[in-house]
Amino acid sequence: MGRICDRAATALLWLAGAFIVALLVYFLGYIFIRGLPVLDLGFIFGLPRELGTGGGVGPQLFNSFYILALSLLFSLPVGVGAGIYLAEYARPSRLTRAIRLSTECLATVPSIVLGLFGMIVFVNLFGWGLCILAGAATLALLNLPVLVRVTEEALRAVPRSYREGSLALGATRWQTVRRVVIPAAAVGIVTGVTLVAGRALGEAAVLIFTAGMSVSRFFPDPNPFAAGETLAVHLWYVNAEALVPDAARIAAGSAALLVLVVLCFNLLVGLPGRLVQRRLTGK
């Protein structure tokens, strides 16, 4: 009886694992089979059109990366810093708990609300207008709580004995953090940043209200005050409002390109992470 149960359960668990992978393969296959044929140089680097077929997504692709990079520039130091504080310095107190609680609840605020907040603060109050900078700043708010949590978790996963060893050798706390804890947690942090980046690349709701839905006439245009429609926003726009006759084609292509970019990003950032780990752990 126990044997049969065991066999059945094993089969079921294998099935669950296979099903999850199959689901992903199906999703990716669906996206790529429809989208990949659209992807050629003219589409990836071309300029979008409002009339007639054959529009490309070059500026949107550029803006996606540009906004992502700027938003990480804003949020990475602060988010990692706050994560280090929570994991290494903060003593359990009411204040610490309040900080942690507030970051966690920021993580669950629907992104559209952050978008409106960004619109009122950056676009209106600071007078930046709808532009790449305002979008990046708002996106940074979205990234912040995740970065804090990811950093804190990665640091906490480092065994206490590492720190004790370092401190016992007379190192200061900062030396311990910099030389011992962060290298050991680097892979975790990098993985977390990759996930944040993937999410940010796919984010649309926040940017509609802050970065605008048009692109600069130049491509590429590094001016942070230029209009900053990204690929995800463009996907939404093409699905919802575009008048061009080949909207479905452009939507399929944008979706495939977006997923492809996230995939590459995971690979590119994930690989060095693994190498660093190998070097650090000596395997």
Partner 1 sequence: MRRFLAVLVLLVLAAAGCGGRGEKDSISGKVLVAGSTALLPLAKQAAQLFMQEHPRVTINVSGGGSFTGLQQVAAGAVDIGTSDVPAPADDPHYKGLVEHVVAVAPFVIVTHPDVGVASLTQRQLVDIFTGRITNWKQVGGADRKITVIHRPPSSGSRMVIKSIVLQGREFTANAVVMNSNGEVFNGVASTPGAIGYIDAAYLKEGVRAIKYNGVPYTKENVANGTYPIYAFERMYTRGEPAGATKAFIDFVKGDEFQQGYVEKMGFLPTNLVRK
Partner 2 sequence: MTRVSKRDGYAKRQWFYDRFFRSLFVLSAAFVTLVVVAIIIFLARQGLSTFREVSPLVFHFSTRWAPPEHFGALTFIFGSVAVTGLAVLIGGPLGLAGAVFMAKLAPAWARSIMRPATDLFVGIPSVVYGWIGLSVFRPVIQEYAGGAGFGLFLAGIILAIMILPTVISVSEDALRALPLRFEMASYALGATRWQTIWRVLLPAALPGLVTAIILAMARAIGETMAVSMLIGNSPLFPRSLFVPTATLTTEIVLEMGNTPFGSTWNNALFYMAFILLVISLALIGIIRFVIQRRAVYGQDM
Interacting residues toward partner 1 by CB under 8 A: 50-52, 119, 123-124, 127, 129-131, 208-209, 211-214, 216-217, 225-227, 237-243, 245, 247
Looking at 37-45, 54-62, 104-112, 127-135, which segment touches partner 2 (CB under 8 A)? 104-112
263, 271, 275, 280: which one contacts partner 2 (CB under 8 A)? 263
How is 16-82 classified by DSSP, letter by letter? HHHHHHHHHHHHHHHHHHHHGGG-SHHHHHSPP-SSSS----HHHHHHHHHHHHHHHHHHHHHHHHH
Footprint (CB under 8 A) of partner 2, residues 123-162: 141, 144-145, 148
Looking at 47-55, 87-95, 181-189, 220-228, which segment touches partner 2 (CB under 8 A)? 87-95
Distance (Å, whole) CA 1 – CA 5: 6
Based on CB atoms, which residue is closest to partner 1, 10 or 223?
223
Kindly state the smallest distance separating residue 172's Cβ from partner 2, in Å.
4
Looking at 65-73, 79-87, 221-229, 273-281, which segment touches partner 2 (CB under 8 A)? 79-87
Instruction: Return the exposure string of 103-134: e unless at least 16 CB atoms fall within 10 Å of the residue's CB, then b.
Output: beebeeeebeebbebbbebbbeeeebebbbbb
Distance (Å, whole) CA 256 – CA 62: 16
Kindly state the smallest distance separating residue 162's Cβ from partner 2, in Å.
18
